[in-house]
Each structure stands twice: as C-alpha cells, then as structure tokens.
Amino acid sequence: MKKGKFIVVEGGDGAGKSSQLKRLKEELGEAVVITREPGGSQYAEEIRNLILKSPHAKQADAKTLFALFWAARADHLKNTVLPALERGITIISDRFDSSTFAYQIYGQEAKELEKFFWTIRDFYLGEIRPDLYIYLDVDIETGLRRKAGQGEDENNHFDAKKLDFHKRMREGFMQFLTRVPHVIIDANQSVESVRKNLKKALSLSL
C-alpha cells in the first residue's frame, strides 16, 4: 500500500531544476528520497548510460527511445519509487513520464505514439500515480542562454531548429500537465524566488 508522496519536478533546459533539487536534498536530508530519470535504480542507470552515452545513440529514433525510457521507468518504479512510498517516505523524481511525452512525442514529433502513451502509462504506472508534477517554466531563449553559461545581455541567436524543438517540447509539457495534478513555477525569476515557490508547492502537498 502506498503511504509516502510521489512528486515529479520537470523543466525545460536551463530552468535550474537540477540545482534546485540539489539544494532541496541538502535541506531535507533523509526526510525525502530524490531520484531521477532516466535512471534512479541500478538497472535503470545502465539503461540511462545506453541512452545518453552510447556512441550509437544518434541512430535511435523516437520509437526506440520511447521503449527504452519506459523500460527504465518500469525498473525505477519497482526498485526505487515503490519501496520508498511503501516506507512512507516522500520521493521526488527529477523528470518522469512527462519528459517522455514532451521530448519523444512533441519534441521528436512522434505524434503517432500519443494515444499509446496513455495506454502504456496506465499499464506501467498502475496505482502509482505522482501526487503532483511541478514544472519550472523558463523562457526558451533565457533557458538556453543560461545553459550555455552566457549572460542575459549576450546576443546569441540559437539556431531555429533548436528553438523549434524546445517550443514543441514546452507545448508537450503543457498538454501533459492538463491531464495531471500540477503546479507551474515561473523559473525566469531569481534562484531564491524559484526556491521559495518550489518549497511552497512542496509544503502544500507533503
């Protein structure tokens, strides 16, 4: 039986997701488990390496990745998420199924997988549904500039293909969020304000 809370934190590139989660872990310590996708369990971390590090990764299309992300997720759920929830511990995942929806189906334009996504989601998640999705929402160009380590005033023009991918991805996240309990946090603000809002969202659901 599920007792702990299951929370997902998502965000576009440069939203500050990883550093916010790192600070949260420092503050909350053993009170929460912070995990990530792809990965989060031993076997899923191996699938993560395959996805992100294989020299042949460029050959993989959205359909292949879709299957790999779900396979990794199945193991992550069984070996990390469920055991934490059963012990009554809150688990926060850095990315989850929302990323598959946004990246593979919208970003990589595999719309033919959209209907299937919800079926496979029911199958793999079963009773374990995240209690809340928190989306750190950053303007695409601001996020990309942050990620590239550039100042706000530097006038870099990101190539149109990259911008389009990120626009599609954000649209995917927004579509996904309409179907699940969620909070959207403006991540264009300072790190401190984002932190405050994140903690507020968490305290409401913990």
- Using the rule CB under 6 A, give the single segment among 53-61, 99-107, 127-135, 149-157 that binds ligand TYD: 99-107
Can you tell me whether residue 179 is helix, strand or coil?
coil
Query: In the complex, what is the shortest distance from the CB of residue 1 to ligand TYD, in angstroms, rounded to a whole number?
Result: 27
Among 20, 41, 90, 100, binds ligand TYD (CB under 6 A): 100
Among 6, 103, 135, 173, binds ligand TYD (CB under 6 A): 103
Applying CB under 6 A, does 117 fall inside the site for ligand TYD? no
Angle at 49 between CA 48 and CA 54, to 5 degrees: 125
Distances (CA, A) of 13 to 4, 95, 135: 29, 12, 12
4 vs 16, which CB is nearer to ligand TYD? 16
38 vs 130, which CB is nearer to ligand TYD? 38
Distances (CA, A) of 31 to 17, 24, 87: 19, 11, 11
31-60 mask for ligand TYD (x: CB under 6 A)? ------xx-------------x--------
Cis, bond preceding 83 (omega within 30 deg of 0): no
For residues 187 and 196, what is the distance between their CA atoms, to the nearest angstrom?
11
What are the residues binding ligand TYD (CB under 6 A)?
18, 37-38, 52, 69, 95, 99-100, 103-104
